[in-house]
C-alpha cells in the first residue's frame, strides 16, 4: 500500500548540475543546482533564483556551461552549492578545479567534470525562476567515451541528488536496453 507523503518533488534521479560562468573580472564561477534537466535535444531548463551570482553572470553574458557532477567531485560540487559567489568571488580556487573557456561560449568548462554542455541563454523568467538555455556544444573527456565516441556510463559515474535525505548517489549500474526490452511483452 502506498503512503501519502504530501507535496514533495520526489523525482529520481535528480542530477547534480554544476553551472559555470565568468564573473565581471573574468574569474570562473560555478554553482550547484539540482532543479534542472534537458527539455529537448538542444535545450536545458533549470530553476535558479535571481539572487545567485551565477544567474547575474548568465543574464549579463548570455553564456554558461552545465556539467553533471560525478562521484570523484562530490566534495567540490557540494562546496560550490553551499558557498555563494556573492560572498566568495574566487570560490573555484578552493575546489581544485581547473578550467578552459568553452569552444562555443564565453563560460568555463571545468577539466575535472568529464561531460559538459556549452549553452547560450534563450530566456529567464524572473517570476517563476526558470532559465532555458540552448545547447551549442557538448564536450566530453576522452576517458569517458566508448570506441564510437559516445559517453560510456561504465567509465563515468554522474551523481544524483536525493531531496528527501539530501544524499548524493552515484549512478553506475546498467539494468536494461531502451527501445528493446519492452519488446519482450509487446
Q: What would the pLDDT profile of 139-183 be if each residue is shown by its tens digit?
A: 999 999 999 999 999 999 999 999 889 999 998 788 899 999 999
- Which residue, 58, 68, 139, 69, is CA-closest to 106? 58
Domain containing residue 58: 14-185
Tally of domains within the chain: 1
Answer positive or negative: Cα dihedral of 86, 88, 89, 95.
negative
Whichever domain contains 108, its CATH number is 2.30.110.10
105 in a structural domain: yes
- Tens of pLDDT, residues 31-87: 999 899 999 999 999 999 999 999 999 999 999 999 999 999 999 999 999 999 999
Output the pTM of the full model.
0.94
Cα gap 89→54, rounded to integer Å: 10
Long-range CB pairs of 173-181, under 8 A, 24+ apart, other chains included? none
- Listing from the earlier edge strand, what are the strands of the sheet with 14-15? 14-15, 159-162, 167-170
Amino acid at each position: 500500500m502506498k503512503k501519502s507523503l504530501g507535496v514533495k518533488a520526489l523525482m529520481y534521479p535528480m542530477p547534480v548540475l554544476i553551472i559555470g560562468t565568468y564573473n565581471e573580472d573574468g574569474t570562473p564561477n560555478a554553482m550547484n543546482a539540482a532543479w534542472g534537466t534537458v527539455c529537448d535535444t538542444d535545450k536545458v531548463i533549470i530553476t535558479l533564483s535571481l539572487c545567485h551570482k551565477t544567474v547575474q553572470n548568465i543574464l549579463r553574458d548570455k553564456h554558461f556551461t552545465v556539467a553533471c557532477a560525478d562521484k570523484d567531485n562530490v566534495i567540490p560540487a557540494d562546496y560550490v552549492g553551499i558557498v555563494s559567489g556573492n560572498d566568495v568571488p574566487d570560490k573555484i580556487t578552493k575546489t581544485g578545479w581547473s578550467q578552459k573557456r568553452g569552444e562555443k561560449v564565453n563560460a568555463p568548462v571545468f577539466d575535472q567534470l568529464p561531460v559538459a554542455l556549452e549553452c547560450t541563454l534563450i530566456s529567464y523568467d524572473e517570476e517563476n525562476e526558470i532559465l532555458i538555455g540552448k545547447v551549442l556544444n557538448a564536450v566530453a573527456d576522452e576517458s569517458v567515451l566508448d570506441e564510437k565516441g559516445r559517453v560510456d556510463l561504465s567509465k563515468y559515474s554522474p551523481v544524483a541528488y536525493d531531496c528527501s535525505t539530501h544524499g548524493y548517489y552515484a549512478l553506475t549500474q546498467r539494468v536494461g536496453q531502451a527501445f528493446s526490452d519492452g519488446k519482450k511483452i509487446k
